[in-house]
């Protein structure tokens, strides 16, 4: 088991697991279950926002419990269920494009943008650049770099993101 994966307390053993990862000074968690033969259900993924301690907030635990029950029922009968918040919830296999799965307009372009921004983030991390240094190289302000890396790039064209990536990569070649 990977070091960032651990059993989630309160679920009786290692059938409900939690992945905790930090990115850009934020903490993200994904909870899934391996309780069922030939199936893995992702129960919840969220950004931890609490400023107090590392404990998973109780409201998140309750949501995970609800979704685990839905997963148990789904695994038994493979039919649709309605969660307590009255939203229709069906469980289905996703595609290779999360933006298409979520119903975004022009999902292929959004996926391409996300992949390009991910490469920008990788270069910044690999080169141990600060956002200020990266901003200077790309010709942006630090807040613009922060927004870009947090996924706020819907209004930015693919071409502009490519130019930002090329500026960053060109700087690396010169180093």
Classify residue 25 as left (phi > 0), alpha (psi -120 to 50) or beta.
Answer: left
Find out whether 15 and 33 touch, Cβ atoms under 8 Å.
Answer: yes
* Number of structural domains in the chain: 2
Q: Is residue 143 assigned to a domain?
A: yes
What pLDDT, on a 0 to 100 scale, did the predictor assign at position 152? 87
Identify whether the C-beta of residue 147 lies closer than 8 Å to the C-beta of residue 110: no
Give the span between the Cα atoms of 129 and 167, in whole angstroms.
14
Considering the domain architecture, whether residues 84 and 140 belong to the same structural domain is answered as no
* Domain region containing 136: 107-174
pLDDT at position 78 is: 52
The pLDDT value recorded for residue 134 is 95
> Within this chain, do residues 77 and 117 fall inside the same structural domain, yes or no?
no
CATH for 158: 1.10.260.40
Summarize pLDDT for 47-90 with one digit per residue, the tens. 776 666 667 778 888 888 899 888 888 877 754 343 344 455 56
pLDDT at 83: 37
What is the enclosing helix (H) or strand (E) of 125?
helix 107-126
- Dist CA 148 CA 145 (whole Å): 5
**Residue 110: how many CB atoms within 10 A of its CB?**
20
Report, as an integer, the average pLDDT of 129-145.
95
Distance of alpha carbon 138 from alpha carbon 136, whole angstroms: 6
Question: Does one domain contain both 79 and 126?
Answer: no
Last residue of a domain, one of 93, 124, 154: 93
User: Is residue 11 domain-shared with residue 80, that is, in the same domain?
Assistant: yes
Q: What is the pLDDT of residue 2?
A: 54
Average pLDDT over residues 137-156: 92
| The pLDDT of residue 90 | 60
Per-residue pLDDT of 6-58, as tens digits, reads: 888 877 766 888 887 777 777 778 888 877 776 788 888 877 766 666 677 78
Same domain, 86 and 162: no
Q: CB within 8 A of 61, min separation 6: which ones?
A: 10
């Amino acid at each position: 088991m990977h070091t960032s994966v651990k059993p989630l307390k309160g679920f009786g053993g290692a059938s409900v697991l939690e992945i905790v990862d930090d990115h850009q000074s934020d903490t993200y968690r994904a909870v899934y279950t391996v309780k069922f033969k030939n199936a893995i259900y992702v129960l919840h993924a969220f950004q931890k926002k609490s400023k107090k301690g590392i404990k998973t907030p109780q409201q998140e635990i309750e949501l995970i419990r609800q979704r685990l029950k839905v997963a148990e029922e789904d695994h038994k009968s493979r039919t649709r269920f309605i969660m307590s918040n009255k939203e229709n919830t069906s469980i289905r296999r996703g595609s290779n494009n999360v933006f298409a799965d979520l119903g975004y307009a022009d999902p292929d372009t959004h996926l391409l943008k996300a992949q390009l921004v991910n490469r920008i983030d990788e270069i910044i991390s690999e080169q141990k650049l600060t956002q200020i240094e990266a901003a200077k190289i790309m010709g942006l302000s630090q807040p613009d770099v922060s927004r870009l890396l947090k996924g706020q790039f819907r209004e930015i064209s693919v071409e502009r993101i490519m130019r930002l990536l090329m500026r960053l990569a060109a700087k690396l070649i010169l180093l």
